Amino acid sequence: MVHSLDELHKELEKYNSEDIYIIGGQKIYEQLVDECDVAHITKVDFEYDADAYFPNLDEKPEWQITGDSEEQTYFDLEFYFLRYEKVK
Protein backbone atom coordinates (compact mmCIF):
# COMPACT_ATOMS: atom_id res chain seq x y z
CA MET A 1 0.00 0.00 0.00
CA VAL A 2 1.21 3.49 -0.83
CA HIS A 3 0.04 6.87 0.39
CA SER A 4 1.12 9.24 -2.38
CA LEU A 5 1.75 9.35 -6.11
CA ASP A 6 5.49 9.63 -5.42
CA GLU A 7 5.42 6.42 -3.37
CA LEU A 8 3.36 4.77 -6.10
CA HIS A 9 5.84 5.67 -8.83
CA LYS A 10 8.74 4.33 -6.76
CA GLU A 11 6.88 1.07 -6.14
CA LEU A 12 5.91 0.67 -9.81
CA GLU A 13 9.55 0.87 -10.90
CA LYS A 14 9.84 -2.73 -9.66
CA TYR A 15 7.38 -4.04 -12.28
CA ASN A 16 7.07 -4.40 -16.03
CA SER A 17 4.79 -1.57 -17.13
CA GLU A 18 2.66 -3.98 -19.19
CA ASP A 19 1.78 -5.84 -15.99
CA ILE A 20 0.28 -2.81 -14.21
CA TYR A 21 -3.48 -2.26 -14.09
CA ILE A 22 -5.38 0.58 -12.42
CA ILE A 23 -8.66 -0.56 -10.94
CA GLY A 24 -10.03 2.62 -9.41
CA GLY A 25 -11.86 4.52 -8.02
CA GLN A 26 -12.59 7.81 -9.71
CA LYS A 27 -9.86 9.94 -8.07
CA ILE A 28 -7.20 7.32 -8.80
CA TYR A 29 -8.34 7.14 -12.43
CA GLU A 30 -8.28 10.93 -12.78
CA GLN A 31 -4.77 11.12 -11.34
CA LEU A 32 -3.27 8.29 -13.40
CA VAL A 33 -5.16 7.91 -16.69
CA ASP A 34 -2.82 10.34 -18.48
CA GLU A 35 0.13 8.10 -17.57
CA CYS A 36 -1.46 5.09 -19.27
CA ASP A 37 -0.90 3.95 -22.85
CA VAL A 38 -3.81 1.49 -23.04
CA ALA A 39 -7.22 1.38 -21.36
CA HIS A 40 -9.54 -1.64 -21.27
CA ILE A 41 -13.03 -0.26 -20.64
CA THR A 42 -16.36 -1.97 -20.06
CA LYS A 43 -19.25 0.21 -21.25
CA VAL A 44 -22.69 -0.53 -19.86
CA ASP A 45 -25.67 0.39 -22.03
CA PHE A 46 -27.56 2.06 -19.19
CA GLU A 47 -27.23 5.41 -17.47
CA TYR A 48 -26.98 5.06 -13.72
CA ASP A 49 -27.54 7.78 -11.16
CA ALA A 50 -24.05 7.83 -9.65
CA ASP A 51 -21.66 10.32 -8.14
CA ALA A 52 -18.37 8.87 -9.45
CA TYR A 53 -17.33 8.00 -12.99
CA PHE A 54 -14.31 6.93 -15.03
CA PRO A 55 -13.06 9.80 -17.23
CA ASN A 56 -14.78 9.71 -20.65
CA LEU A 57 -11.97 8.83 -23.07
CA ASP A 58 -14.28 9.55 -26.03
CA GLU A 59 -13.94 13.23 -25.09
CA LYS A 60 -10.13 13.11 -25.02
CA PRO A 61 -8.55 13.51 -28.49
CA GLU A 62 -5.36 11.74 -27.41
CA TRP A 63 -7.27 8.44 -27.01
CA GLN A 64 -8.64 6.30 -29.83
CA ILE A 65 -10.61 3.06 -29.85
CA THR A 66 -8.47 0.22 -31.23
CA GLY A 67 -10.68 -2.73 -30.39
CA ASP A 68 -14.23 -3.55 -29.40
CA SER A 69 -16.44 -6.50 -28.65
CA GLU A 70 -19.95 -7.27 -29.72
CA GLU A 71 -22.62 -6.24 -27.27
CA GLN A 72 -23.22 -8.86 -24.61
CA THR A 73 -26.07 -9.40 -22.19
CA TYR A 74 -25.98 -10.56 -18.60
CA PHE A 75 -29.55 -10.96 -17.36
CA ASP A 76 -31.02 -7.61 -18.52
CA LEU A 77 -27.70 -5.73 -18.50
CA GLU A 78 -26.22 -4.97 -21.92
CA PHE A 79 -22.52 -4.14 -22.11
CA TYR A 80 -19.47 -4.27 -24.36
CA PHE A 81 -15.71 -3.99 -24.05
CA LEU A 82 -13.50 -1.35 -25.65
CA ARG A 83 -9.75 -1.06 -25.95
CA TYR A 84 -8.39 2.47 -26.16
CA GLU A 85 -4.82 3.41 -27.01
CA LYS A 86 -3.17 6.74 -26.51
CA VAL A 87 -2.21 8.39 -29.80
CA LYS A 88 1.50 9.18 -29.84
Q: Positive or negative CA dihedral for 12, 17, 21, 25?
A: positive
DSSP code of residue 57: G
- Separation CA 40–CA 15 (nearest Å): 19
The domain segmentation of the chain, as residue ranges, is 5-86
Query: Where does the pLDDT of residue 75 fall: very low under 50, low under 70, confident under 90, or very high at 90 and above?
Result: very high
Q: What is the pLDDT of residues 51-66, one digit of tens each?
A: 998 999 999 999 999 9
82, 72 Cβ separation under 8 angstroms:
no
pTM of the model: 0.85
We find that the CATH architecture of domain 5-86 is: 3-Layer(aba) Sandwich (3.40)
- Separation CA 82–CA 88 (nearest Å): 19
Output the pLDDT for position 6: 96
